[in-house]
Structure formats: C-alpha cells, structure tokens
Structure 1
Amino acid sequence: MTLDELFPYVIRQLPIGVCVVNPEYNVVTWNNFFAERLNITEQEVHGRTLADLFPQQFAFLKRKIDSAFLLNHSSFSYWEQRPHVFQFQSSRPITGEETAMYQNIELFPLSAPEAAPEFVCIIVHDVTVQASYYQELRRMAGQLEQERDAQKELLRKLKETQSQLLQSEKMASIGQLAAGVAHEINNPIGYINSNIQSLKDYMQTYTQYNQSLMQLIDSTGLDKLIAQKDLLAEEKQINYLNEDIWDLINESLEGAERVIAIVRSLKDFSHVDSSEWCYADITQGIENTLKILQHEIKYKAIVHRDYQPELPLLYCQPMQLNQVFMNLLVNAAQAIEDKGDIYISVQTPESGVLEIKVRDTGCGISNEIQQKIFEPFFTTKPVGSGTGLGLSLSYGIIKQHKGDIQVSSQPEQGTEFCIRLPIVDEPTDKGM
C-alpha cells in the first residue's frame, strides 16, 4: 500500500473527529469518529447539510465556519465555554460509565497555497477525562475551602484574646518607625533643602551677572559681536533655560518642604515623645492623621471640618486615639465609590464631654451589619483586603478612655461614627 493509499485510511481511523464541509455547509466527508456515533457512513453523509444533521447546533457551527472562511484562519471552542457542541456519548476508561462527551472543537480552512479557502475542516477532541479530572479538582477545592472556613472559626477565639496585645505592639512599632524615619530623612532632606536654597541664591547672582554681561555686549555697538551673542543664546536656548531653571528650583524647594511636613506629621501622629497618657489637642491629632492619609483620601472625598474654637485639651493616649481616627477615616474613604464628602466635627455639646463625629457620603451600612461591625474579625471587605480588627480595636481604645462610640447609617445614604470622651483631670485609673 502506498502512502497516498494509506493516508485516507489513517484519517478514517483517527481517535478524533474529522469532518470537512464546503461553503454551503454541506458535508464533503467525515471519518469513523463521526460515522460510528451518528450511525451514518461516510458515503451516506456526503452532500448533506449541517443544518439537517445538527439543527440545534447549526447556528453556532455556521458562525464558526463563516469566520474560518472569511478570515482564513483557525477558530476554537473549548469545553469550559461550550461543553457539548455535538451530542456524543463518551465512556470513561476506568468506570465504563456512559456520559455526555466534553469536547474541544477546532475549525481551520483548507486551501491550496495562496488561494482562498475551499473547505473547512472540523476537528473534535474528546476531553471528557480531562474535564472530569478538572471538575473533581474543583469539587475538592470547594471542600478544602469549607474546611478552611471551619478552621478559621476554630482559631477565632484564640485570635480575639491576642488582638489587644497585637495592637499595643503595633503602636509601639509605629512609634519606633516614626522615630527612625524622622532621624533618617530629616538630616538628608535638611541639607537638600539648604543646598537648593543656596543654589537659588547663587542663580539670582548668576542671572544678574548674565544680564549685565549681555547689556555690556549690546552697549559696545559691535554688530558682529552682538550677532554672535544672539546666535549663541539661540543655539543654547538660553531664554528657555533662564525661565525653566527657576521653575525647577521652586518645585524642588516645594517638594523638600512637603517631605519635611510629612515627616513632622508622621512623628506627631505617632507621638514618639509622648506615647503615654498626657494632655493633647485632639484636632491636631486629626489633622496629622489627615496628612498621613492624604493620598488615600484626596482622590475620593472633600474633607469638611467643623472644630469648635478653643477646645479643651484631653487627657488621653494620643497615639491610640490617632489610630482610631485613622481607622474611621480610611473606612469613610473606602465607603465612597467615586467622589464624595467626609465631614469631621469636634465639639463639646455638654460640660465635661468631648464629641468627635466622622460622617461620609458613602454606600452606608445595613442594620444587620451595624450590629456586627465592632465584633473582632468581622469584615465586609474581600478576602485579603481587611482583617476585621480595625473597628473592634477602635472600640476597645475608646472604652479604655472611658468613652463611647456609636454608629448611625442607612444604605446608600452614608455613615456617621460618633465618639464621646470624658474631659477630666488626670485620672488615677487610666484604664490600662
């Protein structure tokens, strides 16, 4: 048997489906894979249309075939998108169980070199075994997810007892970090700022000298020398440089001042020098927190302040309260999907009470969730985006200050947190 005689035999016996159609969707030929599953031989199917053979699948097949003819390149259909294009049965090799065949379909044009396609070949791969393995893995992954949730619940009580200790360690670490940042950044940014300021002074002197020199050349009346001066200035773009260099110097000075302000705010926020109980200006703590969160808030909300004048100092742990302000402001910004407002109020509505309110115009909180938001590890954020400790720890800090924190919210109408703290002389019991 020659190779030309052997090739059609090989095509007929392939363990994959092979079906060739013409532009009118008539079947030119197909192999035993199709013939045995449909009980229609290669001779009997010749000339029959796909619309007649596969009426339910014809619209899908027609779209794929037209694409192959028109674009002259292959198109595909994977089992995850369309599991059963052809209603074939498949036997699993281990169990022998008959089940609907999962298929990968490939359609590619057939043509002579550099000629338009004359036929489209449809290839069907039986991927039932692979699909069953994948589905079993997915089922097992779901089971593992359930077991993981059960383990998380078992660990919850242990984590609850650790949360306050973790918070204390976190606050101490922030203080140490702030001290290190202040020390490491203040020195280089200080001499950078000083050097740029000196450069600015030098440039003023240089500019005056340069202008005097140009005027001196112009006063000579030597046309050739003046022309050379003007040509050189044009070639080197001196006029542009004289303008741009001042913008660069002023922007650099502004950037250095911003870094200095950020480091100062970070130090004030963490109160490295006064991490214990002391008298503090609450509005200053809020402002320092806003500076730290500027990048997170400025693209989401406009901050509106309402601070009562001449507020009394509060005997407190400033670093702990700043952490509460940070949690509330971060949550407010994250509750705003596009652009909104955050309102901060600090008042003394009655004698001996300091009241801090943080209100946003975000998505709001349902009544059901409001009952849980102060519980440890409760969060509405996606997995990996939140620990569920922020409001719980904030609640604990306010209680340590003998205060109270309440939430008021309606879905789609925003949320308001209200903190009430007692204004007292230095207590003998600091709650720690």
Structure 2
Amino acid sequence: MDAVLQQQIMDELPLGVCVVDEASCVVFMNKFFLGHLGKSSEEVLNRDIKEMFPEAASILSKKIRSVLVLGNSTFSYWEHNPHVFDFASSRPITGRDHQLFQNIEFRPFKIDSSKVNAVCILVHDVTELAGIYNDRSELTERLEREHAALQELNKKLENAQNQLLQNEKMAAIGQLAAGVAHEINNPIGFVNSNLQSLNDYLKKIMQLLVFYHKVVSKGEEKYQALEVDMRKKMQFDFIENDIMELLSESIEGIERVAAIVSNLKAFSHVDNSEWKFNSVVDGMENTIKIAMNQIKNKAQIHRDYQDGIPEVYCQVMQINQVFLNVLINAVQAIEGYGDIFIRIYQEDQHVCIAVRDTGCGIDSDNLNRIFEPFFTTKPVGTGTGLGLSLSYSIIKKHHGDIRVTSEPGVGTTFTIELPVEAPAAP
C-alpha cells in the first residue's frame, strides 16, 4: 500500500490521529486534527503538542509520560475530561455549535525502534452520545424534581384533608356536647344543691347527737351503759367520722361533673366576650401569674419575647384560657423539676406563641388525637381531656392555628398562631 493511499485512509477516518515523539513533538497528524486546528501539516510537524494546546498541557504531559514509561495504553473519558482538545463540533440533531466531547486513547508506538519511543493519540468524537446522556440526565433530574413536587403537593393535600376531618369532627362533637350539657345541667344543679343542704343538715344532727351524749353522760349509769353498748354495736364512732368524709367526696365529685359540663358548654359555644385589640405578651404574663402556684414547684419559666409585638384582635379571656391550658399541660408533663420556655414573636402577618417544656413528651401515635375531646394521656382523675380541644376551638374561632410537636423523653412544643389583622366577625 503506497504512502498516498495510507494518508488518504487516515484522513477519512472519523477520529483524530496524532503521533508525538518522546519530546511530545508532533510526528504525524491526520485531517481530523488539522481541520479542527485550522492549520496545515507543515505548520504542526515537529511542534510540541502541549504548546499547541496549553489548556490541556497538564493532562497531555501526564498521559504521554505514563505511556512512554510503562509501555501501556491509557485513556481519558469524556465524563471526567469532556474537552481535552478545544475542538468545536456541530451536533447533527440540533445544529448547535459547541465544544466536541471526546474519548481519548493514548497508545504506545514504536518508530524505527524496538522500544516504545512515541505515543499515538486517538480522539473519538462522542458529542452525540454525550448529548443523549446529558439530555437523559436532565430529564431524570426534572422528573425527580416533579416527583418531589408531587410528593410535597400530596403531603399538603393530606394535611388539608386531615385538617378538614378534624374540623368536621370538632363540629360534630360540638353539637353533641351542647346537647349533653343542656340535658344534664339541670339534674346536676339540684343534686349539687341537695348535697349542700344535706351537708348542712348532717352538721346540725351531729351537733344534736353531741348534745344528747353530754346529757346522757350526766344521767344514771344504766343509761350511760346502754349508750356505750348501742354506740359500740352500731360502730357509731366510725360512722360519725366517715359520714362527713363521704358527703365531702360526693360534693367534690358533683362539682367536678359540673366543671366538665361547664367545659362542654364552653367547647360547644365559646362565650361572646368582647372582641378587642390586646397584647398577647400581657395576656401571657397575666396567665403565668394565675398559674404560678402550680408552676413554681415544678418548673422554671424562661421568656423570649420579641420587641414590638403588635396587638391582636381577640377575645382576651378566651385567649388567656388557651394560654392557661397549654401552661398547665406543660407543668403536668414535667416529672420532678424542669423548664418551660415561652417564645413570642411575629412571623409575617401572624403573632406566634411557642410554649416548650422539658417533660415526658407525647408518643407519635397520640399526637394526631391530642385535640380530640376527652382524649388525655394523664392518669384517671387528673384530666377531663377537654382543655386542648377547647383551646383548638378557640384558636380556630380566631382564624388562627395551633400545632404540637413532641419527642418522647425530650419534651413537647405547642405553637399558636394568631392573625394580626382583625378577622371577619364570627
């Protein structure tokens, strides 16, 4: 095969071929290389390839030296070094001009010698392949972003659905509570009144019995002996002490029932106290004073109030009742002695009140039920389960929001948000 035919074949190859000697000087360069350089063969022969491509000098020096020393081929892939040689390319699909993406082989070569004394550099144009890969990667990233956006939207929809279910549940329970409170309020009233009257009557009877005892003790001995015997048979000393305790417990129980009914009425129909602009900082401080007797032996209060907090349009007594419920819950959650952190700050057009305790925390299974009426994690007899549901009702009436986060063994945070601007008339 003559030299002219060999040169023609080399020039028609769809890849760049360049041979350099041990000094990195060009010995041969085909049409692919020359065309991208815009130079003739005479202009490049015996020139240092690193000088012709200064931006790639470092990688070319490293690769050429590796082949000459080790006698093995080495490679440069487009994923790591996409544009070793600054060649322009026109992508057939889009017609856009941009840099040529390259896979490069550095192969050992022997020129009139038995040992490796040159390096053949083969440049493969993988622009189209890289374009497809990059387009696929961009498509994958876009799909992942859209998938993440859909997941976030689904989460928001789920939260909205849960909130709607909670609102419907509150409305249904509110109607039930109103009916129950109305039906049992009157019986509780006369039972309580009768117990109070009975308590007064028993006190008078006991006083009369004490008088009879004194009279008998001054009379004949046989009557004294009869009295002692009768008191012993009837265990009167025990009855005398126990009867007042039984009555006191009954009165306490009926008062507790009355308090539950009162809370039910408040839950089903929050009172129509006056709406006005008021400082939540003042409201919180007043509430702390009211609850201090329960707080002082259980927790240290830590305050973090932002300056310039605007007043909110609210029913002051009802908002203070929410503060009280949240504070008492924090106190009751603390075992031994702990801390309660109160932060009041403005966020956009809302005033936020965050109350965090260092108590026992709430299990995740119970968090979704925390605002349900009659739901409580407290021991039997220490909570009605209406405080937080009432608080939820009050905050929703104020067009606000109340949320809870908790970690068992670490503590719980209640966050209340109230709009700065006056809501529509309820």
> TM-score by structure 2 length?
0.41
> TM-score by structure 1 length?
0.40
